[in-house]
Amino acid sequence: MTTNALGIYEKALPQDLTWEEKFNLAHELGFNFLEFSIDESDERLARLDWTKDERQMFREAMWKTNSRINTMMLSGHRRFPLGSKDPAVRKQSLEMMQKAIDLAVDLGIRNIQMAGYDVYYEEKTDLSRELFVENLQKCVEMAASKMVMLSIETMDDPFINSIEKINHYKSQIKSPWLQAYPDFGNLSAWPENNVPQDFENYIENVAAVHLKDTKAVTPTFKGQFKNVPFGEGCTDFEGLLRLMVRLNYSGSYTIEMWGGDNGDADPLKEVREAKQYFDNLFAQVGIEQEPVVK
């Protein structure tokens, strides 16, 4: 038996709510925390430049509702990648990271999830890889100075699609402030991965886990990495969760969904169904969810 916090991705919820309403809704739905998003959209990138008053209002909403943000999903580097061939873009990528770290400190966020791409919209080359590693080193130094964890997510992209690959970059950048944020679905979609063995070999590097379903990559299909209903994809959630209990993983899990951001007709119904799906699995495998404080 392990006890784990369970969170919900911000984008799963309706987007026309205040922060206080979002926090209260997360509790009503049975979650311990929200995962905060800084994606590549102008709207969410603007959060990096929140004023002191805006940050204070956010903190007050958290305190008033007995809420917390465990993790920030920083996917804005898709648009401004660390490995870009353009020096101006690389400069912006580092500025984004410094702002994200400072925002995390101000909001009490302990863990920033980084997207494991060298580049996303550009051609991948040996140079893009090297630039990524050089700038990742700078990012880790920034984070360490503020005692904020950076955790690389296993991706929908072969550049970093396993915990083993994250461990390789950890071997190049030796710091306790660089860890792994594996995604069950992303790991399971790549046929070359032995997912249980990946966790067994590198569980000490796992800071947080995403719960998401996917459809597998094949020679004729590029896979589906978003909006796959739970239980309809290739992810063996029961097997992997049993494994995590055996490995005594006590970090958090976050359900990753996009219903609210997609403008789905009834995103809350989807979230409730997902929560019930994992409640049932947690009971089967011996995971006790951390009590929800309202």
Residue pair 40/1 in contact by the 8 Å Cβ criterion: no
Task: Decide: 104 and 148 in contact? Cβ < 8 Å.
Answer: yes
Give the per-residue pLDDT at 294: 77
Structural tokens at position 50: 């929140």
Q: State phi, psi for 284 to the nearest 5 degrees.
A: -70, -40
Decide the pairing of beta strands 224-228 and 213-215. Answer: antiparallel
pLDDT of residue 293: 86
Please tell me the distance from the alpha carbon of residue 34 to that of residue 26, in angstroms, as a whole number: 7
Angle at CA 130, nearest 5°, toward 127 and 131?
Answer: 85
Q: What is the pTM of this model?
A: 0.95
Both tokens assigned to 196:
């249980």
Say which residue the tokens 């006790």 belong to: 288
Q: What is the pLDDT along the chain (294 residues), one digit of tens a residue?
A: 899 999 999 999 999 999 999 999 999 999 999 999 999 999 999 999 999 999 999 999 999 999 999 999 999 999 999 999 999 999 999 999 999 999 999 999 999 999 999 999 999 999 999 999 999 999 999 999 999 999 999 999 999 999 999 999 999 999 999 999 999 999 999 999 999 999 999 999 999 999 999 999 999 999 999 999 999 999 999 999 999 999 999 999 999 999 999 989 999 999 999 999 999 999 999 999 999 987
Count, in order, helices (H) and strands (E) of the chain.
11, 12
One-character DSSP codes across 155-186: -SSGGG-SHHHHHHHHHHS--TTEEEE-BHHH
In whole angstroms, give the CA distance from residue 28 to residue 25: 5
Alpha-helical (H) ranges within 108-256 are 126-146, 163-172, 184-189, 195-202, 237-246
Cα-to-chain-centroid distance, residue 58: 20
Task: State in Å, rounded, how far the first CA of the chain is from the last one.
Answer: 24
Closest CA to 198 of 142, 154, 146: 154
